[in-house]
Amino acid sequence: MCEGRVCAVTGAGRGIGRGYALMLADQGAKVVVNDFGGARDGSAAGGANPAQDVVDEIVAAGGEAVAHLGDASSLIDAQAMVELAISAFGGLDVVVNNAGILRDRMLFSMTEDEWDTVIRVHLKGTWASSRIASGYWRDRAKGGKTNDARIINTTSVSGIYGNPGQTNYGAAKAGIATFTLIAAEELGRYGVTCNAIAPGALTRLTEDLALPDEMIARFGPEWVAPVVTWLASPQSADVTGQVIESSGQILGIAEGWRRGPHIDNPPIDPHDVDSIIRELLAKATPRTKMSDL
């Protein structure tokens, strides 16, 4: 499906990102495997080099890949990653923004560092790679070349539906969903689509969850990688600005903010507001919650 396409995947040394990189390579892509080598909370992992481990797997299976050990949230490192793709493989077609960490805490106990670090890795990291790659594709388009390019972002059901203990993570993931919608509108003219995936997978970030065996069997990265591979392929060229839920249990389109029940010419007197808003709330479709999943 992705024969000859050049794909950069951030956070691809382990877990779900590793699954993406392996399947993309299996489907003919040339892969830049980015991973900082950190622990799941973003701290240093003692010299581990998981990106190279994945590259070795891909090469051993007959594919093409190179490792990039930079920090996904650094604009300088994002520039280096894109330059590596161009120098190693002659260009760049796809960026999969997957790198992420967890520092869960209830709102009243969360530290500033726990907030800042999660927002930086997830939200700034998505921006950094997208910023550099979109500039590359825009320059190509302005130079008369055509693009069939992709940005594939990673949001989360925690971000779009809400999960206690994750105001930092959820805010970052909700921001990524909206980032995706706006980037899709900005980049379409340059031959670039932008979509997001809300994966359901058990990785280092979710290893603490206590789930029954039958559910665990449906929450491996292998269930999500096919959707990412399709998004990276030429087949998805007409799909942009979408958020797709994907796991071994469900595949669906997440519907975002849209205007629900409303009235025209609202009142100016605050005493009239209560009855009107309560009537509108009674007509509104209840939002999806994590407990509904």
Instruction: Check if 173 is active-site.
Output: yes
Q: Which of 156, 158, 246, 247 is catalytic?
A: 156
User: Which among 17, 140, 21 is positioned nearest to 5, based on CA atoms?
Assistant: 21
Q: Which of 81, 76, 105 is nearest to 33 (CA)?
A: 81
| Strand partners for 107 | none
Q: Which of 73, 136, 161, 173 is catalytic?
A: 173
Ordered domains of the chain (ranges, CATH): 6-260 (3.40.50.720)
Residue 224 · residue 246 · CB < 8 Å = yes
Q: In a structure prediction context, what are the per-residue pLDDT tens digits for the chain, which is 293 residues long? A: 999 999 999 999 999 999 999 999 999 999 999 999 865 554 555 556 999 999 999 999 999 999 999 999 999 999 999 999 999 999 999 999 999 999 999 999 999 999 999 999 999 999 999 999 999 999 999 999 999 999 999 999 988 999 999 999 999 999 999 999 999 999 999 999 999 999 986 554 455 555 566 656 667 778 899 999 999 999 999 999 999 999 888 999 999 889 999 999 999 999 999 999 999 999 999 988 888 87
E strand segments, the chain: 6-9, 30-34, 64-68, 94-97, 149-154, 192-199, 243-246, 251-253
Write the pLDDT tens digit of every residue in 63-99: 999 999 999 999 999 999 999 999 999 999 999 999 9
283 given a catalytic annotation? no
> Looking at beta carbons, which pairs linking 171-174 to residues 24 or more positions away fall under 8 Å?
171/119, 172/118, 172/119, 172/121, 172/122, 172/123, 173/122, 173/198
